[in-house]
Amino acid sequence: MELKNKRVLVVGLGKSGLAAAHFLKTLGARVTVSDARPATLIAELSELLDQGFMVEAGSHGLLTFRRQDLIVVSPGVPMSTPVLSQVRAMGAHIVGELELGAEYLKGEVVAVTGSNGKTTTTSLIGEILKAAGRPTLVGGNIGRPVTAMVEESTPESWSVLEVSSFQLETVETFKPRIALVLNITPDHLDRHGTFEAYAALKARITEFQTAEDFLILNGEDKETQLIAAKTMAQVYWFSGRRPMKRGAFVHGESILFVPREGAKPEPVMPVAEISLAGAHNVENVLAAVCAARLAGVESETIRAAVREFKAVEHRLEFVREVGDVRYYNDSKATNVDATMKAVEAFAGGIHLILGGKDKGSDYRVLEPFLRERVKTVITIGSAAEKIERQLDGVVKIERAETLQRAVAFAHEAAVAGDTVLLAPACASFDQFENYEQRGRVFKELVQGL
């Protein structure tokens, strides 16, 4: 993609958009940025203007979009945005920040997608590769945008990327050496419309892979299994329940890996050495084991790295114990399935904080888990009324509206041995900038008890 002196428009000035704009400038492109927010809300405006960027703020103008040789869309901007739909129909070339950065990224790429577990698995694979002495970069949907990783990448480096359905929506050639699909459960239906459309986007992670590449799938997830018929890559499986002919699985108390069909299973590590809570994290470890072995990392190195790995921030993160009540931050549980897995990680006595911005979710699927393990559901945010309506009669529900009031209520209600769990099953954008800010606020409130 030769971009010197080409007119390129970056749409959306979040972290990814800003990284893409600066990267494009290093390539010699004539860069314009467009953001629907008013100029007064764009903190970087003066800096962008000083650096020679053309800036359009407050709206997306059709004329601005039509004048470009290339349009780069941030993940947070839907392709259904009217002006994008219009110029696409006119033949405009539109890609996402992931596609742009991946074309220039040197070395091997491991890409991880799924509805839940992406951040933990991506981070763990990165730590294993680092422990093996590989030059390793971690980013994508977490940490650094892909375009910000390009300069540091080398032919010897491994880039481990978390990729979302938003990013996969705009890929054209993205071809990871090793791709992982951890699971597919309903999420982002407010943006993608149907579960089928969402699942189809997840499958795009393997769309451009060849027979020399690897695709790792969840042997216990029906929607993930269906992708095996759509790929040219070599398929490996992981399962916490039964042996796999090729891949990683739990047998008895150990994790084993089978490098090829008919081969003898190789012992990797005891399950008891995994420090992360919850059966879902055993699956995340199995997926990471698969990726690491396919990348050529020895089992002993994997074992040592997994043993040392701690929960990532905002993912079933232990915050503090107050009066024999334990507080956990799972702010990244932004969909119902993630919340279900978080609740499953505890035996009972849970005071569960639910709510935020609804994503078209059905909260009724939580019913059996709530009946069995949860004492109280405490609702916050704009989704509170829907949650209360769908879970009426299932469990005791208290509306707190704000996170501050939710923590205060939980602190009063919980008794010794109970657990207070923030696992909202919703996006955070009604009251917070993102799930990270929501998690940090929760931790600050808990520390202040």
List the catalytic residues: 118, 141, 188
Q: Are 113 and 221 in contact (CB under 8 A)?
A: no
Distance CA 141, CA 163 (A): 5
- CB hemisphere CA count around 318 (13 angstroms): 13
| Among candidate residues 267, 289, 302, the one with its CA nearest the CA of residue 131 | 302
148 φ/ψ sector (left φ>0, alpha ψ -120 to 50, else beta): alpha
Distance CA 243, CA 158 (A): 29
**Contacts for 83 with CB less than 8 Å, ≥ 6 apart:** 60, 61, 62, 65
Annotate 176-223 with DSSP letters as a single string. Answer: -SEEEE----S--HHHHSSHHHHHHHHHGGGTT--TTSEEEEETT-HH
The separation between CA 448 and the C-alpha centre of its own chain, rounded to angstroms, equals: 29
Edge-to-edge strand order for the sheet containing 247-251?
Answer: 136-140, 158-162, 108-113, 178-181, 214-218, 234-239, 247-251, 254-258, 266-270
**Contacts for 196 with CB less than 8 Å, ≥ 6 apart:** none
Look at the block and give the residue holding tokens 């009031």.
405
Q: Are 207 and 173 in contact (CB under 8 A)?
A: no
Q: Are 74 and 20 in contact (CB under 8 A)?
A: yes
Q: Are 22 and 100 in contact (CB under 8 A)?
A: no
